Each structure stands twice: as C-alpha cells, then as structure tokens.
Structure 1
C-alpha cells in the first residue's frame, strides 16, 4: 500500500559522494530547510566508489588532491592526521611520506565524507534524512518534483537533484548487453575471486584504473596464475607521482583552444620539463584546472576528435594509478604473469567450464577466441544513459525529461546544472551534478570537481 506523500525542500537522488557533498553544502548555508537523500545503501557518503572494504583499493590521488571542502584544500590531510593519530589506519606508518602524499584506502575516504556530513548536521538548523530506496520514476510540474520509490513511497520537493554518481560498467545492467557482466566476476569482489583456481588464467577486459583494482583484488585473493588483459589500445595507466610545480602555461596563453593545439603544446611543455630533468607529469598537471573551459569552448567536431583520437592517451596519462597498485602491476608484468594486449572485445562464447571471449587484435581482421578460468569486466564507467538499464534513467528518457549530453556523455544541462529536457527547455526544478555532467565539462568526476559543483549548486538552490 502506497504511503502518503512526504514533503521536503530539496530531494537528492543518490547518497554517494556527490549527494553527500551537496547535502553538506546545503547544511552550511543560513536558513532552515528539509533535505531528503534517497539512497538504497545502508550508509550515505560511500556510493559505488567508497564502499570498498579492502585496504588495497585506494584513491588514485593523494590526500592533498582529494579534499571534499572546496574552501580548504588541506581538509583531507588534516582529517587524516587526526585519524591516524587516533590509531586509525595503522598501515599508514609503513609509508615514509608526509600524510599529504598518502593515498588513503577508499573505505577510509568514505568514512571521512560521512564524518564531514555528521559535523555539518550537528551545526545546522536544516535537517538531512536518509531515505533508503531506489528512485524509479520522477514527475516535474511548475511548483515541485515528485519521486516514486521502488517500495511505492512518494516524495515531493521544491527541487530534485540527480546526484547519481557513476555507473561502473561491471555493475550496471545495460540495454544492449553483450553478456559480459553475466559471465564476469566483480572487479572488487575479493571473496568471489578466492573461488577461482589460484593457478588458472584470468581474462580482464579493459586496462584502466578498474583493471588496476581487479589485479589488486586477485592478488589479495591469493591468485598466482596468468592474467591476460585486453583493451582497444593496450594502454596502462601511468603511476601517479608528486612532481614539482610548473608554470601554468594555459593561463598565460588563451590562444590555445583546439585539441590539436593543446596536444602540441602539452607535448612541448613535457619535453621541456624532461630536458630540465623535471618529471613530465609537472606540466601535465597544470592542464587540469583548464579542462572545463577548454572543453566547453570546443566545437562538436573538436570534441569528437578529442574523444576518438586523444581520449585513450589522456586517460592513461592523467587518470594515473596509485603507486602501490602500480608497483604490483609492474611486478607481475616483470614476472611474465600479466600481459597486456591491444584487442577489441567482441563478445562472450558459451563454453563448458571457464569462459571464452571473442577478440579482434589490433591490426588483424579475423576474430580470435581466448579462454580462461574466469573473466573480469574492467571496461570502466558507462556514461551513456541510454545504455543504462535501470528504471530512473530509462523513465527520464522515456518521459523526455532529459536528453543525452554532448557525445552522449551523461545528460544535458546548463552551466548551473539545471537539466535540459528533450525539447531543449531548461528545467526550473530538476538539476544534476557530478558524473551526469561529464558531457558538459569532460572532467566532472574527480572529488575536487564535485566539491566545487556542490557548493555552487547549493547556493543556486537556496537563492531561487
């Protein structure tokens, strides 16, 4: 039986990091408002990314880069200092580096986000309530938004925010499934991996950061056999280092606009750094602050060229691996146990025992078959909401309340995060933040990006 409708000022759909950071920013603003965060998990602040329980699954950025407070870049470093000082994460003492350079386990980072939410709740006149459930439908009218949950409950709010976070390909049902997930082991499920013959061959599709996590999981599960990795370009993430500062060359020269111009200048700057004996990551790291501007001013053709020709190298050079995980991958490569192949995945073949995949190796026309004892889907994040076979994205598309973002990356919105519907109308009631805005800003997934968006959106929602 459907419960009577509940009312709130702001409905936040998703209680992972994005939704939690928005709630924190709303709590910090003057006034009194009721905020409901709808999240099926038992805890807020974790979501897909920070629900990991294994210490080996760490952030891919050091503490100095991962503050949830847009006004204090040292917030995580300060929290970690207290946490470690109180006896938390004793393994941190094994790393002879400053706390700001530590790469915390993702589970500990989730605890940090939760504590910042608890502190904001204790000091605010506003309230935040966690409503457990999955939003399966949404209606918008001139005055409000109404959400329907999977248990039949309905919630009404003046505003609703799509803070759905990322849809990992390994955990997301897709509308045109290749059968990969049905045959694959979860990259983060160490317990499931203990059931794999430790000497057997494991196949991994995808060679990015999810693959790095999968290799860490296999190692912790006691796997000691061969690991065969297949991805279209065969590129591994570079290891993240702590380079010295470098001049912000993009701030000095706004003539650099097209992807081709940017790529040429970045290469020149990196060569210059190497000639001076400086890590090439130093000039590359200055680009980060300008990505949103460069992406938003690029033409559709330029964006398409970037995604088609530059994206794989951008991902491998910019989204880098935490040092300890990179050391593991390098060691297994050196031992000959881990091999990386440039090949396109073409599907799963039914087989008796184990798993067989169809692949087309780069430079070849024929499709080949490769078999192993187990398969892991490490193909990264699904950003195209048309392919996400979950109730809410499909209903929003069906009702025309959203439209795909540029290049089908996330959904369309204006610069404030107000969602654009299928007819091009900017909503006054429905907003989005974080990963759903990937097509708007290209980099809309990092903690710092989401923190800035959360603060701006909170101000927007309280001043409409």
Structure 2
C-alpha cells in the first residue's frame, strides 16, 4: 500500500488531540490522521459529558492543555465568559482560576486549541484528518505501520501512536464479564435515570469520582430516593480546596524513595501544616510533580505494596471531588438518603421480586448477603488491565505479542520515550503510546497536565 500519512494517531480524545496540536505547531510539513469513532475530536470518554453538573475535578488553574502556559485554560475561560459563554459561572463567587468548568465546556476549549494549531500547521503545509472508525488491528514492519479499521479501510504511515485514552469500567466490555454492565445504568445517562421511580432505591458499586458523577446524574434526573454505595473500603473522595503554597519537600530531599518513607514524611508534613493552621492539602499537592519519578524508580515489590495498602487512601485524598459535587454528597448524606458501605461486590443475584439484586460481603464479615434495589450503577472506575478489555485492538496487540502488559498489568509497557515494548521486551521503532495506556509506567498518566507534557515530548521525538 502507498503511505496514507506520516503519523497515525489511534484515538481522538484528549491524548490524541493534544499530540496532534503539538505536531501541528512544529515546523515542517507532515500529514496526520486521527482515527476516532466519535463525531468530534478532543472529547473522548471524559469530555463528552453534556450535563453542566459533570465538572472537572480540578480548577481551571490546574487544567491547562499547554505545558508552556499553566494559565492557558484560565485565559480561555476569561475570554469565553466575557463573550457570554457559560453564564452559570456567575453563580460561583470565586476567581476564574478557581472555577471548575463543566467537562463538556472543557472539550470545547480543547477543540479550539486544535483549530488554532491547524491554522499554524497550515502555514507549514501540515494537515490533520479525522477518520471516523475504530482500529481493529495493527501490523508493523521495518518501514511502516498499517492499521485495519472497523469499516474495512487500511491506513499506512511511518509512525503510529496508541492514544486510546481510558476504558471506563461502566462502558467497557470485559473478557471476564460479571454481567454487571448489562444490568446497570450508565453513570452519565441522565435520560435513562429519569425513567426510574423518583423514590426508588439505587445501588452503586464503587465510591470514587465516577460515583460522584453518578450521584450528580441522579440528582439532575429528579431522583429523590435512597442511594446505597458499596466499595471495599467505604472511602469517599475528599473535596478539592485551594490550599496555599507549601515547601516542595520532595524536591529538597531525593532520599525519600519508598512508599513507606514517602507516607511517613507526608504525614509529618501534613501534621506540621495543620499545626500552623494551614490546610493539609497543601503538602499533599506538592507531591504531584514527583509521582512519575517516584513510581518509575520504585521496585515491583514497592509498587505492589503501594497498590495493595496505600492506593485506596491515595485515590480518595489525591483525586478529589469538585466543591459543588461534594456539597451535594454531603447534603444527601446528612439527609440519610446517601449511605456508604464498606463492602465487596460478589455478583448479581437472580430475583423475581426486585429489579436488581446484588450479593455483597461487608468489610470485617465472612458471610455474604443480598441487597435489592430498583437500579444498579457500575461506578468502579477505570479498567487499566488490557487483558480484561474486550476490544479488538487491545486483544489483537496482546495476542500477537506486539505489546505486553505494563508494570502490575496496568496499561502496556513502553520505554521512557513512549516506544512500545513487545512481548520480548524489544522497543518498537514505529509504534508509540501516550496517556492512560502508560499508567503502569508513570502511575499518574491520566491527568490533563500529564497528557500535555507527554504530547509535547512525543511530538518532538516523532519529528526528529
């Protein structure tokens, strides 16, 4: 086949779009093709939300897609609001940098930055094309990478980048399915929730940020009944606040390497902050920029210790809830409508007397029990283990040894530059990855700032 493009990007959500933006900004003529089944680029799973209540979990000052300008989103929002956009922002009496924009609006911001990059690229003779399809197979040789698409097309290019983004457990077919998704409501489907009896009991599996979204969806759908949430540890995300600056203690002391050392020192720093009347989130927020270094230099044993013993508390403290959503959860909890249970989900139960029944085991107990409700929502988060993702491309790549699972089976393995490692550990010459597929490499590889930095670095690597 003749070559269709210089660079093929598999996935047109935030990761793929940001890579295209960085490539278009670089001097030189190149043809970029993004393969994405959705009608729009720049949205993906995260930013396709249409409800105003589904907001970013970080304020504008933390969510710039430009790694060279941390105020980029704040500046865009300032102009957008001044032009009459997002009038609801006036209800939040805070500076624009502290606003938590709707995720759908963030998608508009990403799309505008892409359009601006296309204009820059046009001056160099570069183009980007959106092909609406799903990649179902990939082959690579010494000269090029060839993609097979769901509509039968085949595309060929000098390089390909896996930028497939996240696989939400609620929307991802699994190789070892428990049948939960077939019985559950989509956490973001407000229209479907409007069909429920407003006073009925809703069961939710998982208590992270997807659960927060699900509760927001139920509220906007007019649901006024009980909500029962089940998760192993029963931990809720803390509310995100805007703490003052704190000393970068990890930047000053690189001897802190193991999870045990980090936790001991972080707790000490938080106690010091509280003693000074400063929010404990201030020391915690300084850890953010060091996560990739700490994770990459940790041993597999240390990583397993972190995932097994620390991860639930890390997730609830670090991946915090937007203030308005947290206020809703607090209100429902104080009313007795929202109850959080530390319990493990053990499966669905057939029951002719209820719309849905699940079997759980409460924390600290040996026996299981059955809980009934009118509806079930799977809010168990993101599926990072590609071996469990029943999509054509992950399954084909794993089956033919073109990729291997990443550390702790999180995403896929790659070099520090993003070159994918095959089953034998050999780095690919023409196949790269970025964003959530590299979760096992960097731990935090999903946040906007992480993706933006990876996009810039990978773009520079691809055009050398």
Cα shift readout 1:293-326 (whole Å, capped 9, x = no counterpart)? 0001100000000000000000000000000000
The question of 1:434 aligning with 2:435 is answered yes
Distance 2:90 2:356 in 1: 41
Corresponding position of 1:160: 160
The question of 1:38 aligning with 2:35 is answered yes
Superposed, 1:368-383 pairs within 5 Å as: 368-383=369-384
Cα shift readout 1:180-220 (whole Å, capped 9, x = no counterpart)? 11110000000000011110000000000000000000000
TM-score for the superposition, normalised by structure 1: 0.99
Corresponding position of 1:221: 221
Corresponding position of 1:14: 11
Superposed, 1:194-233 pairs within 5 Å as: 194-233=194-233
Cα shift readout 1:345-383 (whole Å, capped 9, x = no counterpart)? 111112224100010110011111000000000000000
Corresponding position of 2:185: 185
The question of 1:329 aligning with 2:329 is answered yes
**Equivalent pair of 1:6/1:154 in contact (CA under 8 Å):** no
Superposed, 1:418-433 pairs within 5 Å as: 418-433=419-434
Distance 1:350 1:438 in 2: 36
DSSP 3-state at the match of 1:46: coil
Structure 1 unaligned spans of 5+: none
Distance 2:391 2:289 in 1: 33
Structure 2 unaligned spans of 5+: none
DSSP 3-state at the match of 1:181: helix
Corresponding position of 1:350: 350
Distance 1:255 1:423 in 2: 33
Cα shift readout 1:279-299 (whole Å, capped 9, x = no counterpart)? 000000000010000001100
Distance change (3 Å), C-alpha of 1:423 and 1:349? same
Corresponding position of 2:409: 408
How many equivalent pairs are there? 460
The question of 1:91 aligning with 2:88 is answered yes
Distance 1:174 1:393 in 2: 11
Corresponding position of 2:173: 173
Give the Å deviation of 1:123. 1.6
**Equivalent pair of 1:52/1:188 in contact (CA under 8 Å):** yes
Distance 1:237 1:271 in 2: 20
The question of 1:24 aligning with 2:28 is answered no
**Equivalent pair of 1:201/1:372 in contact (CA under 8 Å):** yes
Distance 1:7 1:279 in 2: 54
Distance 1:94 1:316 in 2: 27
Distance change (3 Å), C-alpha of 1:6 and 1:199? farther
Distance 1:449 1:351 in 2: 45
Distance 2:363 2:272 in 1: 32
Cα shift readout 1:106-154 (whole Å, capped 9, x = no counterpart)? 0000000000000110121210000000000000000100000001000
DSSP 3-state at the match of 2:146: strand
Distance change (3 Å), C-alpha of 1:216 and 1:5? farther
The question of 1:257 aligning with 2:257 is answered yes
The question of 1:456 aligning with 2:453 is answered no
Give the Å deviation of 1:5. 6.3
Cα shift readout 1:408-456 (whole Å, capped 9, x = no counterpart)? 0000000000000001110001000000000000000000000000000
Corresponding position of 1:240: 240
**Equivalent pair of 1:46/1:110 in contact (CA under 8 Å):** yes
**Equivalent pair of 1:5/1:154 in contact (CA under 8 Å):** no
DSSP 3-state at the match of 1:170: coil
Corresponding position of 1:58: 55
Corresponding position of 2:389: 388
Corresponding position of 2:100: 103
Cα shift readout 1:161-190 (whole Å, capped 9, x = no counterpart)? 000000000000000011111110000000
Distance 2:102 2:60 in 1: 11
Corresponding position of 1:72: 69
**Equivalent pair of 1:227/1:337 in contact (CA under 8 Å):** yes
Give the Å deviation of 1:6. 5.7
Distance 1:174 1:385 in 2: 9
The question of 1:116 aligning with 2:117 is answered no
Superposition CA RMSD, Å = 0.7
